[in-house]
Structure 1
């Protein structure tokens, strides 16, 4: 299964946990045990959800630090979870180039969010990328 699909499935899980006020990891365990009508979660979706859950405090801290005017709690639930996935990929997953993480986040935002969201998401993720230490492997493109 393509990573784009895995990101969307991860977003669905993060969104559901956020909306229900449920622990991300408890919902993930439920979805792994009982996928319901959907196919089982792809491994990369599970990796994303666990990564976001394990690092959510730091991810939200970065989002709050670099966001102007909108703190994480005030963001639309879909926007904030798209951002959490992208920040996890940018900061914690060296296998995904920053540009790819941003492009994937923008694709999700264009499909699922209002018209203003892509520009907001792009600006915020670009600021987070710019604040990373230079020379990190994920900053380089081939």
Structure 2
């Protein structure tokens, strides 16, 4: 599995958690074998999902803050999962430059959501990094 597929898997897991309204690390058992958990991308998936579970209130609060005029309930679940993934990467994955996280979120939206969602997601994430003073990683 490469990083792009690992990122898609994270988005799908976050989407499932949103739909089931249950954030539980045991969901990884449905998606990753024990061998897959040992490779670098499996570790990435585990880190993203465990960070999401641990920081979900903070992440959702930031999304709500920058999705001006939108409640979390009004945001399409797939878009919310993509936003959660990107915010987790930006806040907690220091080896990933924020512009990569934003670009990959837009690519996921192009594949899994509507045309309007790409600009919506890009706008929220752009405002988030600007207003929070997040710097590019060198």
Q: Distance in 2 between matches of 1:24 and 1:106?
A: 26
Gaps of 5+ in 2: none
| Whole-Å separation in 1 of the counterparts to 2:26 and 2:137 | 36
**TM-superposed deviation, 1:20:** 1.9
Deviation digits for residues 114-141 of structure 1 (CA, Å, limit 9, x no counterpart): 110000000000011002236x4xx245
User: Post-superposition, which runs of at least 4 consecutive aligned residues in structure 1 deviate over 4 A?
Assistant: none
Structure 1 residue 40 displacement after superposition? 4.2
RMSD, matched Cα: 2.0
Instruction: Describe how 1:124-135 pairs up with structure 2 within 5 A.
Output: 124-133=124-133
Which residue is equivalent to 2:96?
A: 96
Question: Is this contact kept in 2: 1:78–1:113, CA < 8 A?
Answer: yes
TM-score, scaled to structure 2: 0.86
Q: CA deviation at 1:45?
A: 1.3
Q: Is the 8 A contact 2:96 2:137 kept in 1?
A: no
Q: For the structure 1 residues 98 and 15, does the alpha-carbon distance in structure 2 shift closer, same or farther, using more than 3 Å as the test? A: same
* Cα deviations by residue, 1:85-104 (Å, 9 ceiling, x for unpaired): 00011111111101000010
Q: Secondary structure at the match of 2:133?
A: coil
The reply to whether residue 115 of structure 1 matches residue 115 of structure 2 is yes
1:105 is matched with: 105
Q: Give the count of matched residue pairs.
A: 133
